Amino acid sequence: MAIASATVVGHTTASSPRPHILYNIELKTTDGKTFTISKRYSDFVALHDTLNDPNTLPPKRILATTFVPAAWLDDTLIAERKAGLSAYLAGLLQSPQFRAHKFLADFLAPSTVASSSPDFNLEDALPSTLSRKAALNARSRLAAQATPIAAAYYPDWSSGTNPPNQLDFSKFDILYFAFATPNSSSGISWDSGSTSTLKTLVSSAHNSGHGTKVVLSIGGWGGSYWFSQAVSTSANRTTFVNACVSAVNTYNLDGIDIDWEYPNESGAGNPHSSSDAANLLSFFKSLRSALGSSKIISAAVTQLPWTGSNGSPLTDVSAYAAQMTYANIMNYDVWGASSSPGPNAPLGNLCGNSSLPQYSAQAALSQWTKAGFPASKLVLGLPLYGYVSQSSKTTLQQIARPPAGFDVKAYKEQVLGLPERGLSCPMPQIVEDGAEGEEEKPNALKGAHERVKKAPEDAKEQASAGDLSSYYGQQIPFNQIVALGAIKKTSSGTYEGANGYTMAWDDCSDTPFLYNTSRKTVVTYDDTYSLGDKALFAKQNGFAGCFTWSLDQDDGYTLQNVIRSNLGK
């Protein structure tokens, strides 16, 4: 009797030796029979350690719940583990190497029960029953959690300003080389000179002694035109997979990143099909089979899972997670430039009144894990750029003012697990300015990887004046906000407003912004404080780590250093 599928369908609690969770696994056999077994989380850990398989379990969370042992955490943690454990079992059953393995067969045997070892594992406990003292005492008994990754996209057009052989590779665990693009023949095309840059990047990274991996990113905002065709048929997928494998072998790459913007959506005017998401899964399965288990397979995604055939986000992406190493969440471009600016990359809907509540780091975590993608395979994207708006506003659109009596500080500390910000930057006083035309309706741009405008030729002259008008309506790299004099670095390594710009803080999205009413200029962006908060949020919520778009927009390595520090690196 062979097991056809194994899915965690529910959970129960047991009281001995102390309250803990049992996960109910529904097993279906190839001859159509169905039965249920129950396992602890620690039983899965033991299986994973015994098999030494390449798949990923949902993360250990005791350290994340140490200081907020409350009942609301139970549902969050259990839901994440149900999805993650289902994806883990699906990955094992799809692997010829592990599907028939004796240890997996024993684990899934109908007669087996959860471990009854007297050595109780605190990871099995209900968080709400775990006291602060017990959690603190458990620290020394728990295996250290894997350190989150710090990754970055390296655009091929940045080779002049950031030569690949001069990078400090100690700052990066993974570099995503952007971009190659799919072509009309279901192969891969390259920009002029990019393969030479890629060769130098790979050799420099691999010889750096820091273990930095280089992954080829295919697509991008302007490079997704042929994706739908490339995965549309078995023959096309085979051609595309072969092109990816050839690139990995030719350039000694560590994996492939698919930056399709976006399946079953037009993006920058791309052909698309209602079958895109299903075809993408078939492609991932073929690519994993061709590359083997050791190579990275990732995808740049929005805060919501891919759009399915019904036009709505997929509700079950566990089969994708079984094939993929990471999903790189592009949590930016939520608001672009407008007369009523909003935050580029909200941490969350912290005051509960956002007009785009699905587009934040907090929402992305919930939406992807509820759909079956483990948090331990999610990488949170952080922007090293902002938007410049021609506006006299002094607050941000829709979510600048929390409801009366709402305690934002308490929410951040207790729910998001984040400390109070160190910078004293109160919410600016509401100023009702004159009409500047009809306010634009909120519309999430859904993180696009595109080329940013180059710095103006007269940047040095403008720097002293803080004139950002050449960037109105567009993205601006963080280092250009500095170079053009809107902010300046302090002796503490942080930044403050300069040349007439006021640095303000939007508590409801946990992001900074600049305004200069005399210039009618507003800059929505991220700095050391907001990026640090998001990195800490990722670490404390079991993400695989963080990535940036893109490394050439940093002020040296200032922002990357803050991100690494808050990831615990």
pLDDT at 563 over 60: yes
The answer to the question of residue 347 being in a domain is: no
CA distance 408 to 442: 23
Give tens-digit pLDDT for 380-424: 999 999 999 999 998 886 444 445 565 656 655 544 555 544 332
pLDDT at 147 over 60: yes
pLDDT given for residue 54 in this prediction: 75
Average pLDDT over residues 67-85: 62
Residue 322, class by beta-carbon neighbours within 10 Å (0-12 exposed, 13-18 middle, 19+ buried)? buried
Pairing of strands 495-497, 487-489: antiparallel
Average pLDDT over residues 532-556: 94
pLDDT given for residue 415 in this prediction: 47
More confident residue, 103 or 474: 474
The answer to the question of residue 19 being in a domain is: yes
Q: Average per-residue pLDDT in the chain?
A: 83
Strand ranges of the sheet holding 20-29, from the earlier edge strand across to the other edge: 3-14, 20-29, 34-39
CA max distance for the chain: 77
The answer to the question of residue 130 being in a domain is: yes
Average pLDDT over residues 79-106: 85
The answer to the question of residue 539 being in a domain is: no
Collapsed DSSP state (helix, strand, coil) of residue 164: helix
Q: At residue 500, what is the residue type?
A: G
pLDDT at 231 over 60: yes
**Domain with 50 in it:** 3-141
Helix axes 528-540, 558-566, angle to 10 degrees: 30
Q: At residue 13, what is the residue type?
A: T
Measured on CA atoms in the order 94, 97, 102, 107, is the torsion positive or negative?
Answer: negative
The answer to the question of residue 99 being in a domain is: yes
**Percent of the chain at pLDDT exceeding 70:** 78
* Number of domains within the chain: 1
Collapsed DSSP state (helix, strand, coil) of residue 126: coil
Average pLDDT over residues 215-219: 98
Neighbours of 569 (CB within 10 A): 17
The answer to the question of residue 495 being in a domain is: no
Q: Which of 9-13, 228-232, 463-467 has the lowest average pLDDT? A: 463-467
Give tens-digit pLDDT for 426-484: 222 222 233 333 344 445 666 677 766 555 554 444 445 799 999 999 999 999 999 99
The CATH number linked to 51 is 3.30.1520.10
Beta bridge partners of residue 497, listed in sequence order: 487
pLDDT given for residue 350 in this prediction: 83
pLDDT given for residue 437 in this prediction: 37
Distance of CA 402 to the CA centre of its chain: 26
**Tokens at residue 454, please?**
């180059």
Residue 382, class by beta-carbon neighbours within 10 Å (0-12 exposed, 13-18 middle, 19+ buried)? buried
Instruction: Supply the pTM of this predicted model.
Output: 0.72
List all residues 6 or more positions away from 109 whose beta carbon is below 8 Å from its beta carbon.
Answer: 37
The helix (H) or strand (E) run that includes residue 298 is strand 296-301
Residue 170 φ then ψ, to 5°: -65, -15
List all residues 6 or more positions away from 345 whose beta carbon is below 8 Å from its beta carbon.
Answer: 331, 332, 333, 334, 361, 382, 383, 511, 526, 530, 534
Residue 101, class by beta-carbon neighbours within 10 Å (0-12 exposed, 13-18 middle, 19+ buried)? middle
CA distance 218 to 251: 14
The answer to the question of residue 382 being in a domain is: no
The answer to the question of residue 422 being in a domain is: no
pLDDT given for residue 207 in this prediction: 97
pLDDT at 293 over 50: yes
Three-state SS string across 354-402, please? CCCCCCCHHHHHHHHHHCCCCHHHEEEEEECEEEEEECCCCCCCCCCCC
Helix axes 361-370, 528-540, angle to 10 degrees: 20
pLDDT at 523 over 90: yes
